Structure 1
Amino acid sequence: MKKLVIFDLDGTLLNTIADLAVATNQALEKLKYPTHPTQAYLRFVGNGINKLFERALPEAARTPENVLRVRSLFVPYYNEHGTDLTRPYDGIPAVLKQLQERGVKLAVASNKYQAATQELVKHFFPEISFAAVLGQREGLPTKPDPLFVREILTQTGVTPADTLYVGDSDVDMQTARNAGVEACAVLWGFRTEAELRAYSPAHVVRQPEEILNLFPRFSL
């Protein structure tokens, strides 16, 4: 029976926080709003870019109209500069390659908008043949809604019982729970160990290579 690993993107496969901060700050600056240090963005991300913009805006300015104004400046900038400072976490490319060589299906489920999700995956992991790469799409719910996972399961023909979901945030742990798949929390991303353990994930790993240790259980 074929197996599947679904990865979150930001904070799991890629450290994107610096580019997200720069792109958002340039939009805020153009709109005459205060900017934020890069570390502050660790608390802003995880629920899609509209929620990122809402959190980055001053509380009194958090209107749908202002979110769209920030988005209109962010997207073209990020489309051009989204790979400037972003890098895969150490060990991730090798882990993906080894999983692929073992015949494991790989997929990405991200709350980043679809075009950027696809571009970043293509740019940083050109040698990996992902079975599905899904980002946020207009009119569809974002994680922790289980839609992403269910869509990937449909595309791959893999059952929830044969799927591992790997992510770095509370949103990811909720997504796995809502979709009825086993969760693996990673500690190199954007959230704390305590936040992740609060959701009782089946696995908690500190280094990407530890994901491979799970595969006696998920072996083909």
Structure 2
Amino acid sequence: MNKIKLILFDLDGTLVNTLEDLAVSTNVALKEHGYPQHPIEAYKYFVGNGVYKLIERALPCEARTEEEINKIKESFIAYYDAHLTDYTKPYEGILETIEKLKMSGIQLAVVTNKPHAQALRVVRACFKPDTFIEVWGQREGIPHKPDPTVVRQIMTKYERVSDEVLYIGDSDVDMQTAKNAQVKGLGASWGFRTEEELLENGAWVVLQRNEEILKYT
């Protein structure tokens, strides 16, 4: 019998590559308000802490006021909502890996700092309807990662203890989330950040390919 009963996944940079859609949408919003745009690669370091932080990091330092961030954020959301999955797709091999995990009886869930409605739409566009038992995006009044609240709520709901749970993500935020929730954090090196960042932030192991998840279940 498998020891691991539940795997929690980050979304952007872990299950699906959303970088180009996020970059294009932010650049459209920046251009609309007369700010410089950034190359797609730069967005690997802007994403990970929700939309507000994404916009804050993309703006020039002198423009990072709450009023200005919220104004650009509004433009970003309007464009991104209409172009959510123009370029977004699951990472190579992830659908097959997910299928094998499900066939072995492991429960799968998504915990992301992407706004909840957008997270649901991306998951619905990229995965079968019954793939995940829970999809939790960022919601008003609920702390977002690296706060462990959502991870713990899912564990409690499905009566899972730390030794039965893995958390998989591609950033410092994800590894901190795993640590704060007292579960093992597996780093996704194919995502937006570096292996060094994942290890520095407490990754139990760094995966080079998503099929390696199967070895730790």
TM above 0.5, yes or no, is yes
Q: Which runs of 5+ in 2 are unaligned?
A: none
- Per the normalisation by structure 2, the TM-score is 0.95
The whole-number CA distance in structure 2 between the counterparts of 1:61 and 1:164 is 39
In the TM superposition, 1:120-131 aligns within 5 A as: 120-131=122-133
Identity of aligned residues (%): 49
Moved more, 151-160 or 177-186: 151-160
2:117 aligns to what? Answer: 115
Q: Is the 8 A contact 1:2 1:158 kept in 2?
A: no
Q: Is the 8 A contact 1:13 1:92 kept in 2?
A: yes
Runs (4+) of structure 1 moved beyond 6 Å?
none
Q: Distance in 2 between matches of 1:168 and 1:185?
A: 5
- Structure 1 residue identity aligned to 2:135: V
* TM-score w.r.t. length of structure 1: 0.94
Choose which of 3, 10, 13 in structure 2 pairs with 1:11: 13
Task: Give a deviation string over 1:57-77, Cα, whole Å, max 9, x none.
Answer: 110010111111111111121
Match of 1:90 in 2: 92
Separation of aligned partners in 1, 2:84 and 2:73: 14
Alignment partner, residue 154 of structure 1: 156
Shift of 1:120: 0.4
Q: Which runs of 5+ in 1 are unaligned?
A: 216-220
Cα 1:22–1:29 change in 2 (3 A) is: same
Deviation track 1:89-113 (CA, whole Å, cap 9, x = no partner) reads: 1010111111111110000000000
* Aligned-pair Cα RMSD in Å: 1.3
State how far apart, in whole Å, the 1-side matches of 2:203 and 2:23 are: 29
Q: 1:22 deviation in Å?
A: 0.5
Task: Quote how far apart the aligned CAs of 1:151 are.
Answer: 1.8
Deviations 1:1-54 (A, max 9, x none): 871000000110011110000111111111111111111101101111100000
1:180 to 179, 182, 197: 182
CA distance in structure 1 between the aligned counterparts of 2:148 and 2:161, rounded to whole angstroms? 14
Instruction: Report deviation, 1:155.
Output: 2.6
Is 1:73 paired with 2:75? yes
Structure 1 counterpart of 2:214, from 201, 212, 215: 212
Corresponding pairs, count:
215
Q: Which secondary structure does the structure 1 equivalent of 2:177 belong to? A: helix
Report the CA distance between 1:80 and its aligned residue: 1.5
In structure 2, the residue matched to 1:143 is: 145
* SS at 2:147 equivalent: coil
Q: Give how far 1:152 is off.
A: 1.4
Preserved contact between residue 132 and residue 155 of structure 1 (Cα < 8 Å) = no
2:65 to 58, 63, 66: 63
Q: How many Å separate the matches in 1 of 2:201 and 2:37? A: 32
In 1, Cα distance between equivalents of 2:127 and 2:158? 20
Q: 2: distance between equivalents of 1:149 and 1:142?
A: 10
Partner of 2:169: 167
Compute the displacement of 1:136 (Å): 0.6
Question: What is the deviation of 1:199?
Answer: 2.6
